[in-house]
Chain A
Amino acid sequence: MRIFTVLGIIFYAAITITIGIALIAFSLNLLQPQNINDFLAYVRAYPNSRIIVGLLGLLFILVSFSFAQLILGRFQREKTIAFMTSSGQVTIALSAVEDLIRRISHHMPEIKELRPDVIATKKGIMADLRVVLRSESNIPELTARLQDLTRTKIQEVLGIEEEIVIKIHVAKIISAEEKEKKRKEAERLEQPTVPFSGYGRV
Chain B
Amino acid sequence: MTHRDESRTDLGTIKIHKKVIASIASLAALEIEGVKSVGGDFKSGLLELIGKKSLSAIKVEIGANEDVRVDMPLVIKYGYNIPEVANKVQESVRNSLEKMTNLSIKDININVQAIERG
B47 within 8 A of A: no
State whether B109 touches A99 (Cβ < 8 A): no
A138 within 8 A of B: no
Task: Kindly list 9 other residue pairs between chains A and B, CB separation below 8 angstroms, not including A85-B83, A90-B86.
Answer: A83-B83, A87-B87, A87-B105, A88-B110, A89-B107, A90-B83, A93-B111, A96-B112, A103-B118
Which A residues between 82 and 121 are near B, CB-CB below 8 angstroms? 83, 85, 87-93, 95-97, 99-100, 102-103, 106
State whether A100 touches B115 (Cβ < 8 A): yes
B10 within 8 A of A: no
- Tell me the nearest residue of chain B to A91, going by C-beta: B111
B21 within 8 A of A: no
Contact among B90, B112, B118 for A88, CB-based, below 8 A: B90
State whether A102 touches B109 (Cβ < 8 A): no
Q: For residue A99, which residues in chain B have a CB less than 8 angstroms away from its CB?
A: 114-117
- The prevalent SS among residues of A at the interface is mixed
Known A85-B90, A87-B91, A106-B118: A93·B82 in contact at CB below 8 Å: no
Residue count of chain B within 8 Å CB distance of chain A: 29
- Tell me the nearest residue of chain B to A97, going by C-beta: B115
B106 to chain A, nearest CB (A): 8
State whether A91 touches B110 (Cβ < 8 A): yes
A106 to chain B, nearest CB (A): 6
Report Cα–Cα, A191/B111, bound state, in Å. 47
B76 within 8 A of A: yes
Known A103-B118, A157-B81, A159-B83: A93·B113 in contact at CB below 8 Å: yes
State whether A87 touches B117 (Cβ < 8 A): no
Report Cα–Cα, A106/B118, bound state, in Å. 8
Known A85-B90, A87-B90, A91-B110: A103·B83 in contact at CB below 8 Å: no
Report Cα–Cα, A157/B87, bound state, in Å. 13
Which B residues between 79 and 107 are near A, CB-CB below 8 angstroms? 79-84, 86-87, 90-91, 94, 105-107
State whether A92 touches B118 (Cβ < 8 A): no
State whether A93 touches B117 (Cβ < 8 A): no
Which B residues between 14 and 64 are near A, CB-CB below 8 angstroms? none
A66 to chain B, nearest CB (A): 21
A141 within 8 A of B: no
Which A residues between 144 and 159 are near B, CB-CB below 8 angstroms? 156-159
